Amino acid sequence: MTKRLIAYVHVDGQAYGPGDKLPAAVAKRIGAHAFASDVDEGGREDQEDLEISSNVQRTLEVPPRSGRGSGVEAWRDFLSRHEIAADPDATRDDLIAAAEQSGLIEPEPPQE
């Protein structure tokens, strides 16, 4: 089976997604959790691959920056799933900034 990305990832400011051909140097920098196995010769995906894809998708979901689901705990959990340490006294804005600085999310464009 071949490997393909299951979601879009950003490496050095360049976006890569499902169906994109990855340069070897870029592929080495992307964790195995971002890949899923393609359909096998029998025309079906392995159940284990489907379960991994589902778990990875939940891990990749970024909390909203405001509104419902945007609280400190949601952001702390998101950073924790990506193994980013956060100060226990950090505010939601501090946690969002940490996610931006670590490259997990794109910085929000400045408001005019």
Q: Is the pLDDT of residue 3 over 90?
A: no
* Higher local confidence (pLDDT), 109 or 91: 91
Sequence-distant (6+) residues with CB within 8 A of 56 are 6, 7, 33, 34, 36
pTM score, whole prediction: 0.49
Q: Which pLDDT score, from 0 to 100, does residue 51 have?
A: 52
pLDDT for 59-69, tens place per residue? 568 888 889 98
Domain boundaries, the chain: 3-60, 62-107
Over residues 2-27, the mean pLDDT reads 81
CB atoms under 10 Å from CB of 96, counted, come to 23
| Inter-residue contact 75 to 61 (CB < 8 Å) | no
Cα 66 off chain centre by: 19
Q: Which pLDDT score, from 0 to 100, does residue 48 have?
A: 52
